[in-house]
A and B are shown apart, each in its own frame.
Chain A
Amino acid sequence: MFGYLLLAILAFSIVAYFVGQATGKKFVAVNGAAIHSLPMYHGAYVAIWVGIPALILSILWIALQGSVIDGLLTSSLPSALTEGASSAQINLILSEIKNVAAGREFSVPTDEIRAAADSYLRWQDIARWAMVVAAISIMLLAMFFARTRLAPRFRARNGVEQIVGWMMITCAVIAVFVTIGIIGSLVFESLEFFKMVPVHEFLFGLRWEPQIAIRADQVAGNGAFGAVPVFLGTLVISFIAMLVAVPIGIFTAIYLVEYADDRLRNIVKPVLEILAGVPTVVYGFFAVLTVAPAVRNAGNLLGIATSPNSALAAGAVMGIMIIPFISSLSDDALVAVPRSMRDGSMAMGATRAETMTKVLLPAALPGIMGGVLLALSRAIGETMIVVMAAGLIATLNINPLDSVTTVTVQIVSLLIGDTSFDNPKTLAAFALGLVLFLVTLALNVIALNIVRRFREQYE
Chain B
Amino acid sequence: MDMQDGNVKMTQQTVDRAMNPSDAIERTIRVQTRDVTVHYGAKQALHGISIDIPERAVTSFIGPSGCGKSTFLRCINRMNDTIEGAKVGGTIKLDGEDIYDPQLDVVELRARIGMVFQRPNPFPKSIYDNVAYGPRIHGLTSSKADLDEVVVSSLRKAGLFEEVKDRLNEPGTGLSGGQQQRLCIARAMAVGPEVILMDEPCSALDPIATAIIEELIDELRENYTIVIVTHSMQQAARVSQKTAFFHLGNLIEEGVTEDIFTNPINKQTQDYIMGRIG
Contact = CB atoms under 8 A, between A and B. Distances in A.
B111 interface: yes
A342 B82 CA distance: 10
Interface in B31-80: 77, 79
A110 interface: no
Given A340-B117, A340-B121, A349 B82 contact: no
Given A359-B123, A362-B124, A343 B137 contact: no
Interface of B: 77, 79, 82, 84, 106-111, 114-115, 117, 119, 121-125, 133-134, 137-138, 184, 187-188, 191
Q: DSSP class of A's interface residues: helix, strand, loop or mixed?
A: helix
Contacts of B106: 349
Contacts of B123: 341, 344-345, 359, 363
B111 A349 contact: yes
A338 interface: yes
A343 B82 contact: yes
Interface of A: 261-262, 338, 340-351, 354, 358-359, 362-363, 457
B19 to A, nearest CB: 36
A347 B124 contact: no
Nearest to B124: A363
Nearest to B108: A349
B24 to A, nearest CB: 29
Contact of B124 (A346, A350, A354, A457): A457
Contacts of B121: 338, 340-341, 343-344
A345 B114 CA distance: 11
Contact of B84 (A261, A341, A363): A261
A347 B125 contact: no
Contacts, number: 66
Which residue, of A338, A344, A346, has the highest number of chain B Cβ atoms within 10 A? A344
Nearest to B119: A340
Contacts of B84: 261-262
28 contacts: A340-B119, A343-B82, A343-B115, A343-B117, A344-B121, A344-B123, A346-B79, A347-B79, A347-B110, A347-B117, A348-B110, A348-B111, A348-B134, A348-B187, A348-B188, A348-B191, A349-B107, A349-B108, A349-B109, A349-B111, A350-B107, A350-B133, A350-B137, A354-B137, A359-B123, A362-B124, A363-B123, A363-B124
A362 B123 CA distance: 10
Contacts of A346: 79, 82, 110
A349 B137 contact: yes
Given A341-B121, A349-B109, 9 more contacts: A340-B121, A343-B82, A348-B111, A348-B114, A349-B106, A349-B110, A349-B191, A350-B133, A457-B124
A341 B119 CA distance: 10
Nearest to A355: B137
Contacts of A348: 110-111, 114, 133-134, 137, 187-188, 191
Contact of A349 (B117, B124, B138): B138
Contacts of B115: 343, 347
A358 B82 contact: no
Given A358-B137, A457-B124, A351 B82 contact: no
Contacts of A351: 107, 137
A341 B114 CA distance: 15
Nearest to A338: B121
B38 to A, nearest CB: 17
Contacts of B184: 344
Contacts of B77: 347
